[in-house]
């Protein structure tokens, strides 16, 4: 019974509760980003940090032009699209941001997993939240299937649309 309760708790961790401490969540993600960049001998420049902070402001994916609008609203000028795309490319290379292909948008990675590990995104059609589910079983199955096929995945991502537990309960 205790294992079932732990599994249920893990499922709910995929989507943060509406009342979670978002400030701490974002601060932890920025601290992680700084550590990743330092260990990779890379710089988290001011524009890269601003893009990451904008993505961390919610748990919903944002498109590049939405990011431009959010950064322009902060009063520090309107960045050029190429600037945003370069920052996003850098953040993706560092494993700090994921691209949601089906939405042509980006989301900050708040889970500390290996950059090449398969990731499953659970996308809520009701509230727009995106949960990032990682699991050894999923990763092992995908790695085994790709190895057996002699295939080298570039972006091992699975996207599943549906309704999150918070919206179903509302």
> pLDDT digit string (tens) for 46-56?
999 999 999 99
Identify the pLDDT of residue 16.
75
Per-residue pLDDT, 116: 66
Query: What confidence score (pLDDT) does residue 115 get?
Result: 63
CA–CA distance, 79 with 99 (Å, rounded to integer): 20
Count of structural domains within the chain: 1
Mean pLDDT, residues 144-160 taken together: 87
CA pair distance 109, 30, nearest whole angstrom: 10
Mean pLDDT of 98-104: 92
**Average of per-residue pLDDT values in the chain:** 85
Given a cut of 80, whether residue 144 has pLDDT beyond it is: yes
Residue pair 127/164 in contact (Cβ under 8 Å)? The answer is yes
Query: What tens digit of pLDDT does each residue of 44-92 get?
Result: 999 999 999 999 987 789 999 999 999 998 888 899 999 999 999 999 9
The position carrying tokens 């710089």 is 43
- Domain with residue 101: its CATH number is 1.10.10.10
In the prediction, which pLDDT does 118 show? Answer: 77
Spatial neighbors of 165 by CB under 8 A, at least 6 apart, are 11, 12, 15
Which range of residues forms the domain containing residue 137?
Answer: 2-169
- Region 27-35: mean pLDDT is 94
130: number of Cβ within 10 Å = 23
């Amino acid at each position: 019974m205790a294992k079932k309760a732990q599994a249920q708790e893990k499922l709910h961790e995929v989507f943060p509760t509406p009342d979670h401490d978002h400030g701490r969540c974002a601060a932890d993600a920025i601290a992680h980003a700084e550590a990743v960049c330092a260990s990779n001998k890379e710089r988290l420049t001011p524009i890269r940090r601003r893009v990451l902070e904008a993505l961390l402001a919610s748990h919903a994916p944002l498109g590049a032009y939405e990011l431009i609008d959010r950064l322009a609203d902060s009063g520090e000028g309107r960045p050029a699209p190429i600037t945003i795309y370069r920052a996003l490319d850098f953040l993706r290379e560092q494993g700090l941001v994921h691209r949601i292909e089906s939405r042509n948008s980006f989301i900050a990675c708040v889970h500390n997993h290996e950059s090449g590990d398969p990731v499953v995104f659970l996308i809520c059609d009701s509230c727009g939240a995106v949960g990032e589910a990682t699991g050894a079983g999923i990763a092992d199955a995908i790695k085994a299937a790709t190895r057996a096929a002699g295939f080298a995945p570039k972006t091992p991502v699975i996207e599943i649309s549906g309704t999150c537990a918070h919206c179903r309960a509302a």
